[in-house]
Amino acid sequence: TAPLFSKGEKLTNGYFTGDAYLQLLLAKDKNNDFVIGSVTFEAGARTNWHTHPSGQVLIVTEGLGLYQEKGKPAQSIKKGDIINIPENVEHWHGASATSKMVHIAITNYEGEVNAVWLSPVTDLEYSEANK
């Protein structure tokens, strides 16, 4: 079946490893203090470690991926899963090593900030997460 949303633009901001794409669905405005985007991660692609000052919700719309909070084991995530990420919890999300993953991300703002970007997920961390 056709993807729900277009893949959008390739992310080149340096906060992702591998090939990831963003389609903006809804920008922050006077009523909505969050941004909604559809993020496509090709196999092997993932975010850097990061936090959200007011949390984030992910809705997986396609494929198989991984979600990990610092100090905890990685979780497999799949189409239909909803991940409610608390504020200021260090984490990453992305595709599995062998499958793409697409999620909608609803990311809340605190003032003008919705994410604090940290270091890349190393190949070692990623390969442990895929075990």
Nearer to Mn ion, 56 or 61 (CB): 56
Nearer to Mn ion, 5 or 117 (CB): 117
Q: Decide: helix, strand or coil at residue 124.
A: helix
Closest approach, Cβ 93 to Mn ion, in A, equals 6
Q: Quick check: 21 and 62 in contact, CB under 8 A?
A: no
Closest approach, Cβ 82 to Mn ion, in A, equals 13
Nearer to Mn ion, 57 or 97 (CB): 57
Number of continuous H segments (helices) and E segments (strands) in the chain: 1, 12
For 31, the token pair is 């009523």
Nearer to Mn ion, 56 or 68 (CB): 56
Closest approach, Cβ 115 to Mn ion, in A, equals 7
Q: How many residues does the chain have?
A: 131
Site for Mn ion in 52-81 (CB under 5 A): 56
Closest approach, Cβ 39 to Mn ion, in A, equals 10
x/- track of binding to Mn ion for residues 38-57 (CB under 5 A): ------------------x-
| Closest residue to Mn ion, based on beta-carbon distance | 56
Q: Where are the beta strands (DSSP E) in the chain?
A: 9-10, 16-17, 20-26, 34-41, 46-47, 50-51, 56-69, 75-78, 82-85, 91-95, 101-108, 116-117
Task: Give the binding site for Mn ion (CB under 5 A).
Answer: 56
